[in-house]
Amino acid sequence: METHMDEAAARAPAASWAWIWQAITGLGLIGLLTLHMVAQHFVAEGGIRDYADVVAYLRHPVILVLEVLFLITVTAHALLGVRAVLFDLGLSESGERRVTQVLWVIGVLTVGYGFWLTWAILNHP
């Protein structure tokens, strides 16, 4: 029993950092989602933008940075949540490491796809 407690105590700093990052991304989402909703639905004429309007909107450098931050923040927050749920299943230390690695790969691929898609939209004739 003490061995299990020692292992849990040794892993606590990593779990604490994941929790802190989830809290930070959650707060970031509140701000970024608010900006996104206001810009997309309250500032846009008619309440919604068509494809051409979205492309023109994304060509503004500040807006592009905000939307990319939104993508990264949503992805990180969601994957940290999935990680927390999976860790609650009581995985072994190696299982937790594998879950973390797989979720990192999923996150990098998701954000990479978002970057590619944004680039493709902005460079489409």
Q: What is the CATH number of the domain that holds 12?
A: 1.20.1300.10
User: What pTM, to 2 d.p., does this model score?
Assistant: 0.78
Instruction: Fill in the amino acid letter for 39.
Output: A
8 A C-beta contact, residue 112 and residue 68: no
Structural domain for 46, as ranges: 2-122
Q: What is the per-residue pLDDT across 66-120, written as a single tens digit (0 to 9) for each?
A: 999 999 999 999 999 999 999 989 989 999 999 999 999 999 999 999 999 999 9
Q: Work out the pLDDT band at 16, boundaries 50, 70, 90.
A: confident
Number of domains in the chain: 1
**Residues in Cβ contact with 18 at an 8 Å cutoff, skipping those fewer than 6 apart:** 80, 83, 84
